[in-house]
Amino acid sequence: MQFDNLLFGTAGVPNSTPKKNNPIDGVKAIHELGLDCMQLEFAHGVRMKEEVSSDLRKVSYELGIPLTSHGPYYINLNAREQDKIDSSVERIIQTAKISDLCGAESMTFHAAFYMKDSPYDVFDLVEKSLNVIEERLGRLDIEIELRPELTGKTSQFGSLEELISLTKSVNSCSPCMDFSHLFARTGQYNSYQEFADVLDKLKTELGTHALEQMHIHISGISSNSKGDLKHLNLEDSKFNWKELIRSLKDKGCKGYVICNSPNLEKDALMLKEYYHSLTE
Ligand SMILES: [Zn+2]
């Protein structure tokens, strides 16, 4: 998909939608709210009737609200048991199949936990599985961007550097840039200059197109010393979202910005309004 600028939407159906479990109503609500896109959340399993996905595809196309998706939490490509790795691969493929039926072109997921293994070994395993997934999706004729998420806990695979390396080695891979997670994971990356440095790094390492087709997550966030994460509304968080939006705008970034604050559409609208209030 070609983007003119950043599109703003919610992680899942907006809170104000009367039927919170109906993604078709969700897309209509996004349209009425004046937002641009919506992420399908398959966090607790990939289940959707085929007629729902084809209706969803139709409504999303007619209203001009593109979709992204998020795979199940229960994925670990570095699980101890081979059958758990196999089922993680299946879950990613299932997510890709349904996302494709819905017309989503970019899907994100949490790839793995380190399980105290060496990050290098985990990288090799994740890379191997993603190559298998890519090959199988190719045979199914499914074209979708696989976006391992920049994760917020240091026990999870998915640092900025790991995602950049994966993107270089697996064709259909790109990072899902969760800037709130990056802040929580490192305790850094919360100023205009640091955000700009990250964007420059993506551009240098992956090319200009990495900034022109982004899949971004933003929410308020806090993390304690144990690394437990809590998603907050932006106003209740120290996360410097205004500086992030300014740097995204200044660097000419394009693509999806998915808000996963608890208040979903309220923060998504605040992000969108701030973005459009900035002059070129
Ligand atoms: Zn996520």
The CA 76 to ligand 1 mean position distance, Å, reads 13
- How many angstroms separate the Cα of 181 from the Cα of each of 178, 189, 192, 246? 5, 10, 16, 18
DSSP code of 173?
B
- The stretch 98-108 carries a mean pLDDT of 97
**What per-residue confidence (pLDDT) applies to 279?**
76
Q: If you search the block for the tokens 């309220």, which residue do you land on?
A: 266
The CA 232 to ligand 1 mean position distance, Å, reads 14
The CA 275 to ligand 1 mean position distance, Å, reads 23
**What per-residue confidence (pLDDT) applies to 55?**
97
12/228: higher pLDDT:
12
Q: Extract the tokens encoding 78.
A: 């570095």
pLDDT category at 121 given cuts 50, 70, 90 is very high
**What per-residue confidence (pLDDT) applies to 47?**
86
Residue-wise pLDDT for 61-80, tens only, equals: 999 999 999 999 999 999 99
Q: How far apart are CA 151 and CA 250, in angstroms?
A: 25
The CA 261 to ligand 1 mean position distance, Å, reads 12
The CA 110 to ligand 1 mean position distance, Å, reads 6
The CA 15 to ligand 1 mean position distance, Å, reads 18
- The stretch 6-15 carries a mean pLDDT of 98
The CA 279 to ligand 1 mean position distance, Å, reads 31
User: What is the reported pTM?
Assistant: 0.96
Residue-wise pLDDT for 254-263, tens only, equals: 999 999 999 9
Mean of the per-residue pLDDT values of the chain: 96
Q: How far apart are CA 149 and CA 166, in angstroms?
A: 11
The CA 70 to ligand 1 mean position distance, Å, reads 7
Residues with CB under 5 A from ligand 1 (ion): 149
The CA 280 to ligand 1 mean position distance, Å, reads 31
- The stretch 218-236 carries a mean pLDDT of 89
The CA 24 to ligand 1 mean position distance, Å, reads 22
Q: If you search the block for the tokens 């070129």, which residue do you land on?
A: 280
pLDDT category at 280 given cuts 50, 70, 90 is low
The CA 90 to ligand 1 mean position distance, Å, reads 18
pLDDT category at 87 given cuts 50, 70, 90 is very high
Domains defined along the chain, listed by start: 6-277 (3.20.20.150)
**What per-residue confidence (pLDDT) applies to 224?**
78
The CA 252 to ligand 1 mean position distance, Å, reads 24
The full 3-state SS of 95-149, as one line of letters, equals HHHHHHHHCCCEEEECCCECCCCCHHHHHHHHHHHHHHHHHHHHHCCCCCEEEEE
The CA 111 to ligand 1 mean position distance, Å, reads 10
- The stretch 109-134 carries a mean pLDDT of 97
Percentage of residues in the chain with pLDDT exceeding 90?
92
48/253: higher pLDDT:
253
**What per-residue confidence (pLDDT) applies to 227?**
72
